[in-house]
Amino acid sequence: MNFNLLAENLTNPALLFFVLGVLATYLKSDLEIPPNSSKFISLYLLISIGFKGGQELSHETFSTNILWSMIFGIFISIFIPFYTFFILRRKLNVFDSGAIAAAYGSVSAVTFVTATAYLESEQLLLHGYMVAIMALMESPAIIIGLILITFFNKGRKNEIDKKFIFKHAMTNGSVLLILGSLLIGFLANAKQAEGIKPFTNDLFKGFLSIFLLDMGISSGRKLKSFFEFGWFPVLFAVFIPLINGCIFVILSSFVTSEISDRFIFSVLAASASYIAVPAAMKVTVPKANPGLFLPMALAITFPVNITIGLPLYFFLVQQFLKKTVPARTPPLAHPRSHIPARPCETLRRTLQTLR
């Protein structure tokens, strides 16, 4: 693995702001991001990534490859809750197992945004349809998790509001906003998009840093009581996402050979939802303990992914491509996102010659 790349990611300003947030809670500082400001920034990040994805999608030609990628994304969000549920049931009750399985089968929009910034640092492009796939992956995992709770909680099936499940899956705020932004970006022409570029592009990394600072503060507060549940949730939150990411680095090769797409698939498989799933479970499964599944996703899995996961998945995509992609490939429409895998310094020099 390229340890220079890992060190570079660990010194990324956005990540360091996350660490600062965690440190602030342990120092008992009064540092705090106002709730309304935090909400605004999260909405901004979803709008920005959705709009930019729509712009990229407008330049794509719909093909069977895109269709298979969408099907593959939905498969990930169905498969992961199924197998993780039975691992969790060995130590936890059916309600907590279903809620955690849903969280790890669903996706984290903030992890996705961070992965997008990571791709940009490697001078690779995110395809617009991957934004749509990310949005499509959020709801199936919630539905599967609730179905598993219903099935294995025999005699109490009436405790789950089935109508709310499907309503939440279709009208969840983060899903609706990112899909709507994707559509707006798709419909806007290049001149119109240029007019709001300072908002959607130039401010992105600054707002991401502030948002990660807020996430660090929230994570630090939840970690204090989390360890009372023992080591099983901790080990699960660390290793299961890394295993998922590595598995889908390999499985994604059957769907696409794109470096950026395979990297994003691995990140989506490794991420865990700490916004949509907790909101759904709070209403539909009140017996599920938010003090367990929320810190697992936010305080452990999220920082593990953005520190260790991102460089690990990118490294594995590069290494696996070396063994599977032919030495000579035909020229493609977006050369920057189709460059064969190679060490990062060589990749940067190649991109400079392409410019």
pLDDT band at 170 (very low <50, low <70, confident <90, very high): low
Residues 6+ apart with CB under 8 A from 163: none
* Domains of the chain by residue range: 3-26+37-323
Picking from 312, 241, 331, 297, the residue whose alpha carbon sits closest to that of residue 99 is: 297
How many C-beta atoms surround the C-beta of residue 227 within 10 A? 11
Assign domain 3-26+37-323 to a CATH class: mainly alpha
3-state secondary structure of 275: coil
Dump pLDDT digits (tens) for 126-143. Answer: 887 888 788 778 778 888
Report the C-alpha gap between 261 and 249 in whole angstroms. Answer: 10
Mean pLDDT across 212-235: 79
CB 250 within 8 A of CB 321: no
Question: 29 — phi, psi (to 5°)?
Answer: -75, 155
The predicted pLDDT at position 300 comes to 86
How far apart (Å, rounded) are the C-alpha atoms in residues 101 and 336? 36
What is the pTM (predicted TM-score) of this model? Answer: 0.69
Helix 138-152 / helix 276-284 crossing angle, nearest 10 deg: 30
Q: Give the model's confidence band at 177: pLDDT under 50 very low, under 70 low, under 90 confident, else very high.
A: confident
Q: Where are the alpha helices (DSSP H) in 254-354?
A: 259-270, 276-284, 290-295, 302-304, 310-324, 344-354
Are the CB atoms for 213 and 110 separated by under 8 Å?
no
- Dist CA 224 CA 342 (whole Å): 42
- How far apart CA 284 and CA 269 sit, in angstroms, is 24
Count of residues in the chain: 355
Tokens 């030609």 sit on residue:
61
Q: Which residues 6+ apart lie within 8 Å of 299 measured at CB?
A: 218, 219, 220, 222, 223, 226
Say if CB 239 and CB 73 are below 8 A apart. no
In sequence order, which residues have a C-beta less than 8 Å from that of residue 259 and are 6 or more positions away?
Answer: 124, 317, 318, 321, 337, 338, 339, 341
Using CA atoms, how far residue 128 sits from 110, 145, 153, in Å, is 17, 28, 40
**Tens of pLDDT, residues 20-74:** 888 888 888 888 888 888 778 878 877 887 787 778 777 777 788 888 998 999 9
Per the listing, tokens 């179905």 go with: 147
Q: Which of 8, 300, 267 is nearest to 116 (CA)?
A: 267
As a whole number, the mean pLDDT across the chain is 78
In this predicted model, what pLDDT tens digit does every residue of 86-126 receive, in sequence order? 999 998 889 989 989 999 998 887 788 888 888 888 888 88
